[in-house]
């Protein structure tokens, strides 16, 4: 038999009970259900709280490294370990933990806490009313028992029939009083809604400001975040189909459900944004690979690996998506090379280059090697015939005619 405070102890009884509860909670991690368990290192918020929505078993945590950060995955592998079957399911933990953190921050808002305090006050009011009814029931039972006792004591002892009947009524009243008292004691032992003091109410309201700041603080250890999660969440059931479905049981008795998309694989996450690829394709109509990279950087676009564009990256993306180069687009539009232009006009290729440099011919830059392509010439263009045979520097160039060489 335990007699509290019979002798001075090393610790108080409250501390002893707290230690026993902590030991019991930690021991569950080694039980058949593997429930809860102590908060360990690692960023997985739902370590020990994740439940498989397919088989109902607890899910374990595995980590992999991505870009220098540990990313958790939740595995349901009990049947895989015990019976050598396939893995039940694997749920990516990065997006799950982010969704749970956002849920907790949204849950502990000033409005939600005020609603919770209002509900708590209403429950306290109803609990007080129920307690008053039970006390009144005990008082009525005690009054009936006292009345039955006085009747029994006031009866003539010689009248045995009446005395036996009044004694039976007194015993029934005593049993009713004892039953009412036992019911009241049982309800009191079970514990009702406890009224909050003004200081406790103020601390709860302050929690709406302190919790988001503490949660978002990078200096907060992962273990402390897990302990905060354990104070607010009982468990989370996970089912992965075409999306990830989360069913969250909160400590207050409320349930909520979330649906989040499945995060892309590593190769999908490294893909360049489709809008950026569309802009790259459009820029190649007027720009070379290096010019296209410069324009994309000026517009603030990044590659799938979150890096600025370079000429090499543009070439790799263009080849991977089978996009024609600037030169191929000009050739498809009917543009001529220097040799073809020289053959068409009957001059040396160096003459075509000189004419382009002097502005007689307007060429289109085809690549970053300073290669130019030219539209087919008009044989009647006076710039190509007048003063032929004179030095280019001494020629007089008339104004370009409408429809002449570009």
How confident is the model at residue 206, as a pLDDT? 60
pLDDT tens for the chain, 406 residues: list them: 677 777 887 888 888 888 888 777 766 555 555 555 667 778 888 888 899 998 888 898 999 887 788 889 999 988 888 888 888 999 998 889 989 988 888 877 654 555 555 555 665 666 777 778 888 888 888 888 888 888 888 877 777 777 788 888 888 888 988 888 888 888 777 655 555 556 656 665 565 566 677 777 788 888 888 888 887 888 899 999 989 999 999 877 778 899 999 887 766 667 888 899 999 999 999 999 999 999 999 999 988 888 899 999 999 999 988 999 999 999 999 999 999 988 888 888 898 888 888 888 888 999 999 899 999 887 676 666 554 555 555 555 555 555 544 4
DSSP at 252: T
| Residue that is last in its domain, among 199, 229, 263 | 199
DSSP string spanning 363-382? Answer: -EE-STT--EEBPPPPTT-G
Residues 303 and 309: their CA atoms lie apart, in Å, by: 7
CB burial of residue 198 (10 Å; 0-12, 13-18, 19+) = exposed
Q: Are residues 317 and 360 in the same domain?
A: no
Q: Please choose, from the candidates 392, 281, 285, the residue with its C-alpha nearest in 3D space to the C-alpha of residue 332.
A: 285
Looking at the structure, do residues 195 and 276 belong to the same domain, yes or no? no
SS3 83: helix
Distances (CA, A) of 399 to 238, 376, 394, 406: 76, 19, 16, 12
Is residue 177 within 8 Å of residue 138, measured between CB atoms? yes
Co-location of 310 and 343 in the same domain: no
Measured distance CA(293)–CA(142) in Å, rounded: 93
Residues 132 and 186 in one domain: yes
Residues 282 and 349 in one domain: no
The tokens of 12 are what? Answer: 């108080």
Geometric angle at alpha carbon 281, from 279 and 282, rounded to 5°: 65
Task: Please say which residue of 323, 351, 383 terminates a domain.
Answer: 323
Select from 386, 406, 389, 405 the least CA-distant residue to 397: 386
pLDDT on residue 165: 84
CATH number at residue 376: 1.10.1660.10
Whether 54 and 76 have beta carbons less than 8 Å apart is answered as yes
Residue 289 domain flag? yes
> Looking at the domain assignment, is residue 145 inside a domain?
yes
Q: Verify that 119 and 192 share a domain, yes or no.
A: yes
Domain boundary among 283, 300, 323: 323
Whether 383 and 312 map to the same domain: the answer is: no
Q: Where are the alpha helices (DSSP H) in 154-197?
A: 160-190
DSSP string, 185-251: HHHHHH--PPPPPHHHHHHHHHHHHHHHHHHH-TTS-HHHHHHHHHHHEEEEEEEESSSEEEEEEET
Residue carrying structure tokens 């609603």 = 115
Domain shared by 303 and 339, yes or no: no
Count of structural domains within the chain: 3
Please check whether residues 340 and 388 belong to one and the same domain.
yes
How do 364-365 and 372-373 pair as beta strands?
A: antiparallel
Statement to judge: residues 144 and 114 lie in one domain: yes
Buried residues in 74-94 as b, exposed as e (16+ CB within 10 A): bbbbbeeeeeeeeebbebbbb
Task: With respect to residue 1, please indicate whether it lies within any of the assigned structural domains.
Answer: no
Residue 390 domain-assigned? yes
At 111 the pLDDT is 46
Backbone angles phi, psi at 160, to 5 degrees: -65, -35
pTM value surpassing 0.75: no
Q: Domain span at residue 371?
A: 334-394
Which residue, among 102, 124, 114, 336, has the nearest Cα to 229 in the 3D structure? 102
In contact, 236 and 49? CB cutoff 8 Å? yes
């Amino acid at each position: 038999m335990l007699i509290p405070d019979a002798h001075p102890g090393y610790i108080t009884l409250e501390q002893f009970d707290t230690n026993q509860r902590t030991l019991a909670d930690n021991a569950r991690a080694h039980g058949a259900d593997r429930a809860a368990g102590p908060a360990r290192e690692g960023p997985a918020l739902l370590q020990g709280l994740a439940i498989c929505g397919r088989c109902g078993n607890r899910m374990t945590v595995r980590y992999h490294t991505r870009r220098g950060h540990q990313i958790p995955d939740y595995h349901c592998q009990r049947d895989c370990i015990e019976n050598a079957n396939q893995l039940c399911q694997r749920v990516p933990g990065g997006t799950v933990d982010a969704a749970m953190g956002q849920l907790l921050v949204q849950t502990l808002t000033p409005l939600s806490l005020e609603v919770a305090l209002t509900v708590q006050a209403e429950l306290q009011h109803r609990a007080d009313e129920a307690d008053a009814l039970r006390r009144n029931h005990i008082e009525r039972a005690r009054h009936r028992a006292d009345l039955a006792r006085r009747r029994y004591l006031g009866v003539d002892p010689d009248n045995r029939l009446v005395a036996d009947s009044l004694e039976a009524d007194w015993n029934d009243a005593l049993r009713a009083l004892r039953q009412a008292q036992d019911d009241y004691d049982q309800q009191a032992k079970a514990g009702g809604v406890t009224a909050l003091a003004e200081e406790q109410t103020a601390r709860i309201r302050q929690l709406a400001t302190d919790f988001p700041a503490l949660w978002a603080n990078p200096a907060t250890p992962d273990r402390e975040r897990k302990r905060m999660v354990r104070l607010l969440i009982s468990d989370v059931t996970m089912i992965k189909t075409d999306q990830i479905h989360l069913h969250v049981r909160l400590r207050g008795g409320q349930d909520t459900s979330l649906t989040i998309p499945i995060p892309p694989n590593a190769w999908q996450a490294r893909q360049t944004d489709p809008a950026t690829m569309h802009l790259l394709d459009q820029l190649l109509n007027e720009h070379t690979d290096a010019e296209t990279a410069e324009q994309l950087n000026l517009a603030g676009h990044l590659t799938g690996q979150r890096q600025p564009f370079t000429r090499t990256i543009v070439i790799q993306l263009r080849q991977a998506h089978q996009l024609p180069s600037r030169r191929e687009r000009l050739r498809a539009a009917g543009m001529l090379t220097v040799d073809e232009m020289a053959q068409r006009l009957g001059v040396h290729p160096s003459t075509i280059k000189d004419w382009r440099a002097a502005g007689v011919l307007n060429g289109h830059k085809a690549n970053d090697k300073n290669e130019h392509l030219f539209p087919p010439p008009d044989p009647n263009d006076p710039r190509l015939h007048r003063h032929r045979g004179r030095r280019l520097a001494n020629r007089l160039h008339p104004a370009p005619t409408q429809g002449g060489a570009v």
